[in-house]
A and B are shown apart, each in its own frame.
Chain A
Amino acid sequence: MASLSEEVLLVVKKVRQRKQDGTLYLMAERIAWGPEGKDRFTVSHLYADIRCQKISPDGKAKIQLQLVLHTGESTTFHFSNESSALKDRDAAKELLQQLLPKFKKKANKELEEKNRMLQEDPVLFQLYKDLVVSQVINADEFWANRLGDINSTESALHNNKQEVGISGAFLADIRPQTDGCNGLRYNLTADIIESIFRTYPAVKQKYSENVPHNLTEKEFWTRFFQSHYFHRDRINTGTQDIFSECAKQDEKGLKSMVVQGVKNPLVDLMSLEDKTLDEGYGASTTPPSTSNRSVKESSNAAIIKRFNHHSAMVLAAGSRKGETPTDQASETSSTDGNSRDSDFFQPPVKKVKLQEAIEYEDLQRENRPKTVALNLKKSDRYAHGPVPLQSQHYTTSQDIINSVNYIQHEMVNYKPNLTQVLSSTAASSAIAALSPGGVLMLAGGQQAINQMVPTEVQGELKHLYAAAGELLRHFWSCFPVNTPFLEEKVIKMKSNLERFQMTKLCPFQEKIQRQYLSTNLTGHLEEMLQTAYSKFHVWQTRRMMRKT
């Protein structure tokens, strides 16, 4: 029986599994089922192992829930309580729906990572096949050592990965379709939801606040599309609308962006005018006050505001990751052109922009590195899309020019030095000495292994070496053995090594003997194993002595 500390989230009675009545338990980390009248679980799955759940269609007589595992196995539960079967099933389904994604992410990430590593590294993959698939060691052991690497490489990988931006028109992609009976249907994909969340963090916050405690996911999105927030041109705001707060938050965000001002002084309209006319002077009339604007006009203004905000948010979502908080802090302080310390930040931006603005590049003599102009013979091809390039390493055109020049220079200056060559007798004796069987080649009489052994045997030997190396690495990494865990491990590793010798090495030896090849091919491998064994024996006898 599972430990008592496990939290049970849901208990459903009268659930049949394999025609046996029982009780279904949903716990914090796993789902379990036990037959009636017994106090142990015959079925128990960690949530992380579950790939998905399936339910029987509504109309069906049997109300079932199927769990599909990552391994491909599946377990089916049949809810047999007549009065509340449907309700029970839905409760279980809802709960699973919330629980699974949490574990899924973690599991998926690990799986993906492992999968990726195996794909990227053929040696590792072979090792995996040799050791895990042939069940010399189990997968966990195999990964136990690797995962440390994963975590360290992971961060580096994430830094390199480029964030994918958001389409500006993602809201336009959610075209409502009429479903034929006075309703609208919105199709949401995970991508769109992700886009919405990234663009409007306020909605994401609402989502995490309300789903699943107050609303189901479906209800949430229904309300989202009904809300004034989505249809910003509708002015009448219901106060009970959960999104009215989002709108306010957005408004605030927009305001703070506006207050923050702009970094580039050349586009700052506020400080453009040097000396504005005092109030009351000037030919133009004062702008109409906002109070007497009609509803239509203010709704138009709202649309315009919304577009600006939307575009800004989309833009920000694309570049949000790169910015570090300190960066932002310095930016904000540098934007406020009036505060005193900001003056120390401001000039550089301003200077650069001013210099850019007064630059006439064509009036100056060029002193940039010379580049080769693109000479198009067929401009059609240029106009019709790019061709993928395979090579990753580019040399700049300057490099190419340099090297061409260099080679040209070399060739021009090349003169064969005919007086200082070897005499023909000396040359032929040198060739004879260097040919196989010659004076200088005696040391190399032993033929290289690649000439003696057929390639498939070579390959096999390579794999054996890799596998043995891996196992030995595990083995040696246990020393010095100073914890009970390591003791256990070292013993296990020893048996792994023996098993390896039995299942892999010996058949190989027999094979090469059958092919009458020199048996000392595996000599070194055996030597290594023997060293490990003797080390193990030394350690074991010492341990015995200490115990006695």
Chain B
Amino acid sequence: MKLNIDGLLVYFPYDYIYPEQYSYMLELKRTLDAKGHGVLEMPSGTGKTISLLSLIVAYQRAFPLEVTKLIYCSRTVPEIEKVVEELRKLMEFYSKQTGESNNFLALALSSRKNLCIHPEVSSLRFGKEVDGKCHSLTASYVRAQRHSDPNLPACRFYEEFDAVGRQVPLPAGIYNLDDLKDFGRRKGWCPYYLARYSILHANIVVYSYHYLLDPKIADLVSKELAKKSVVVFDEAHNIDNVCIDSMSVNITRRTLDRCQNNVDTLQNTIHKIKETDAAKLKEEYRRMVEGLKEASVARETDIYLSNPVLPDEILQEAIPGTIRTAEHFVGFLRRFMEYLKSRLRVQHVVQESTPQFLKDIFDKVCIDRKPLRFCAERLQSLLRTLEIADIADFSAVTLISNFATLVSTYSQGFTIIIEPFEDRTPTIANPVLHFSCMDPSIAIKPVFQRFQSVVITSGTLSPLDIYPRILDFRPVTMASFTMTLARTCLCPLIVGRGNDQVALSSKFETREDFAVIRNYGNLLLEMSAIVPDGIVAFFTSYVYMENIVASWYEQGILENIQRNKLIFIETPDAAETSMALEKYQEACENGRGAILLSVARGKVSEGIDFVHHFGRAVIMFGVPYVYTQSRILKARLEYLRDHFQIRENDFLTFDAMRHAAQCVGRAIRGKTDYGLMIFADKRYARADKRGKLPRWIQEHINDGSLNLTVDEAVQLSKHFLRQMAQPFRQEDQLGLSLLTLEQLESEEMLQKISQIAHQT
């Protein structure tokens, strides 16, 4: 249908529309009009992606000079592919309606592992290996060497692409990962480099967060993307953690050992080169004196996305003399490494700020702050000069030099913690130096600064106001949309007591309590008897799950559950869990029914959807608080309190509830879907917890279902499931939660929609 969104003609590739989709587009249009940033929450399964795409594509077509590019960031590879497929659907609709083929170019970009078509390289299992192997075939000096020695192995796809691929731009169309591979095979071009080159002129780019947020990758891939782009972060409820992860560094003894080897290799290579090709080193030295002018010019002219690791000041200056020659730099690295080694020899936990660390390093080994800051750049240059093919081998020394640059650049927002052993095993020495980022805004700042509109969206972003605070930006729109429902297809229940009135809770004091564990077991057992097909149960942590499973096994609860359903359990091993997941789905599919025991914050809770019969009930055992004893977390909480005025408890609860909401939200993926959401912990009943759940879940919790016993919950569930099993037709939804174009255009409906949308 064709919609009129605030004066903009939007093609929407379906015959009907949900009211909230309309509101969402309206809000999104305001964000784009204002050229500002937005935070939008809308439940999963209400067609967020297609609404986003429809509106932004329409906007791009209407104002081609205002918005030149859409950068759509999602989290997982399947998500990325789904987005591209939805886009394909939209574009097909466009060409059917307008009768002309449009010249949109949209493509997905992923790592080499997912795009490589070289027979040998692509058969490697791990992404890192693929990257390394690819680099060893395609690095510039490797190819230069091949001129003199044609027998060296080459990647014919890259050579072919390099020879002709850049001259003609990729023809317009929608390219998913597989389409890129097909295209690459047909032309004989490398799909990965083709995609990386093509994102510069594509209208829509779909890739993962890391390409924008991780400075190491963003610098390579995304820095030349146009300023007039709209950036969308989908599934953004965890975006702060992604930011923090990309800026944090851990150094163990093993890292240092490997680093030692790297430095030795560097030294040897330098010696060799000195004998054979001294000119090369001289040339490098000259470049060092010139400084990093190129980068500075580029940034001034606003071509590049700035790299937070490469601060502006560095660009003005030349590399300090102490590390300009290769040998000096290697010596410098050695000193730095020895210093780190000595720090790792501590017997007690040390926590210090970055200035303290810098002072200490100056006092002990006379390393100044300034050369440290150039460390990362200097190492890159050296590796290039020495023509080292396999960069992957040098990951340790790269890590150390990145650390050096970061630690000397930021005086705030980071902390250094040195732990001589793990808390759980105090007898085994395993010293780790955590250089931990506490301020997610550092990594995302360049994105907010550079791009005109950044939209953060997800199914669970409540409470909305916390994201602008921790990411330090000022949104022009913030909205949370609920799911309009013709029938209440979700049933959140808070089970606070067992049948024997024992309070159910996963809190630390009662964690080992057998009565609680038994009651949890009873809850699952009873549910397994009444819920059809699949049940997913989430635990607060892996250790907790292991303990509970073990004691359920001893008490014979699991055996009884097995009479009703098969049991599958998430393990720390991803491959094993994938298999368990697939078998779980198979068991749901063939009618046997199954239970999946899983972990909040685990991979399953983050990336897998349990649509329809794959998840008729989700049980959340306990409140998934993060492990609060960790020093890194404590430091971060302190920082949040001091700099953003967010109280520790508020943040912890917020974090726990967003994960809980993620877990239970996995079961509802649309209005035709239905599922039970069982929160098995009495603490969920408290207003401060409940209030942090997304609105679309919160509004279905009535006061009667706040502190149920297991039996009561079973009764309510039975009733709910029977009602839901009745046929549900499109006509039932029409006019309430599903609108035709005529209905949407009626004055009355528009009023109703705006009323619903502005409840927040």
Contact = CB atoms under 8 A, between A and B. Distances in A.
A275 B217 contact: yes
Interface in B417-449: 422, 424-425, 428, 432, 434, 436-437
Given A286-B250, A366-B730, A312 B583 contact: yes
Contact of B607 (A269, A314, A315): A269
A297 B565 CA distance: 26
B569 A285 contact: no
Contact of A297 (B89, B251, B546, B566): B546
Contact of A269 (B396, B437, B578, B592): B578
Given A300-B547, A354-B82, A362-B733, A267 B582 contact: yes
Interface stretch (A105-113, A128-136, A301-309, A503-511): A301-309
Interface stretch (A51-59, A167-175, A527-535): A167-175
B727 A269 contact: no
A201 interface: no
B587 A300 contact: no
B585 A267 contact: yes
Interface string A269-304: 111111111111111111110001000110111011
B603 A280 contact: no
B574 A172 contact: no
Nearest to A270: B574
B571 A305 contact: yes
Contacts of B119: 340
A343 B118 CA distance: 13
A178 interface: no
A107 B579 CA distance: 43
A8 B82 CA distance: 72
Contact of B77 (A258, A271, A347, A374): A271
Interface residues on A, range: 35 or more
Interface string A296-339: 11011101110110011011001100000000000000000011
A275 B729 contact: no
A360 interface: yes
Contacts of A363: 14-18, 47, 738
Interface in B362-376: none
Contact of A261 (B128, B556, B578): B578
B11 interface: no
A274 B546 contact: no
B583 A281 contact: no
Contact of B632 (A266, A283, A303): A283
A383 B723 CA distance: 10
B560 interface: yes
Interface stretch (B62-70, B208-216, B263-271): B208-216
A303 B547 CA distance: 11
Interface in B84-125: 85-86, 89, 110-111, 113-114, 117, 119, 122-125
A34 interface: no
Interface string B17-56: 1100000000000000000000000000001011000000
Contacts of A366: 730
A274 B111 contact: yes
B27 to A, nearest CB: 20
Interface centre among A266, A284, A305, A340 (most CB of B within 10 A): A266
Interface in B518-575: 546-547, 549-550, 553, 556, 558-560, 562-563, 565-569, 571-575
A80 B560 CA distance: 52
Interface in A12-33: none
Given A269-B604, A283-B437, A338-B122, A169 B571 contact: no
B581 interface: yes
Contacts of A340: 117, 119, 122-123
A74 interface: no
B381 interface: no
Nearest to B562: A169
A374 B725 CA distance: 11
A262 interface: yes
Interface residues on B, range: 35 or more
B178 interface: yes
Nearest to A316: B583
Interface centre among A261, A263, A273, A361 (most CB of B within 10 A): A273
Contacts of B611: 357
Nearest to B422: A288
B582 A281 contact: no
B395 A280 contact: yes
A374 B125 CA distance: 51
A283 B604 contact: no
A538 interface: no
Contacts of A339: 123
Given A275-B217, A281-B399, A311-B594, A172 B562 contact: yes
B248 interface: yes
Interface in B582-599: 582-583, 585-587, 590, 592, 594
B255 interface: yes
A498 interface: no
A284 B245 contact: yes
A274 B110 contact: yes
A354 B432 contact: no
A373 interface: yes
B526 to A, nearest CB: 16
Contacts of B424: 288
B585 A292 contact: no
A437 to B, nearest CB: 63
A259 interface: yes
Contacts of B295: none
Contacts of A354: 78, 81-82, 85
Contacts of A378: none
A420 interface: no
A308 B580 contact: yes
A304 B349 CA distance: 35
A288 B425 contact: yes
Contact of A373 (B122, B573, B729): B729
A165 interface: yes
A519 interface: no
A61 B603 CA distance: 71
A172 B564 CA distance: 12
A281 B255 CA distance: 11
Contacts of A312: 568, 579-580, 583
Nearest to A339: B123
Contacts of B565: 168
B576 interface: yes
B609 interface: yes
B581 A269 contact: yes
Nearest to A375: B727
Contacts of A262: 578-579, 581-582
B181 interface: yes
Contact of A360 (B113, B250, B428, B670): B670
Given A271-B113, A282-B248, 14 more contacts: A168-B567, A233-B550, A257-B579, A266-B609, A270-B578, A277-B214, A277-B246, A282-B250, A285-B432, A285-B434, A292-B425, A299-B550, A312-B583, A339-B123
15 contacts: A167-B563, A265-B77, A269-B578, A278-B399, A280-B250, A283-B437, A285-B434, A304-B546, A304-B571, A308-B583, A312-B583, A315-B586, A343-B181, A355-B85, A365-B16
5 A-B pairs with the lowest CB-CB distances in the bound complex, closest first: A172-B559, A274-B208, A169-B562, A363-B14, A311-B566
Interface of B: 14-18, 47, 49-50, 76-78, 80-82, 85-86, 89, 110-111, 113-114, 117, 119, 122-125, 127-128, 178, 181, 207-208, 210-211, 214, 216-217, 241, 244-246, 248-252, 255, 395-396, 399, 422, 424-425, 428, 432, 434, 436-437, 546-547, 549-550, 553, 556, 558-560, 562-563, 565-569, 571-583, 585-587, 590, 592, 594, 603-604, 607-609, 611, 632, 670-672, 722, 726-727, 729-730, 733, 738
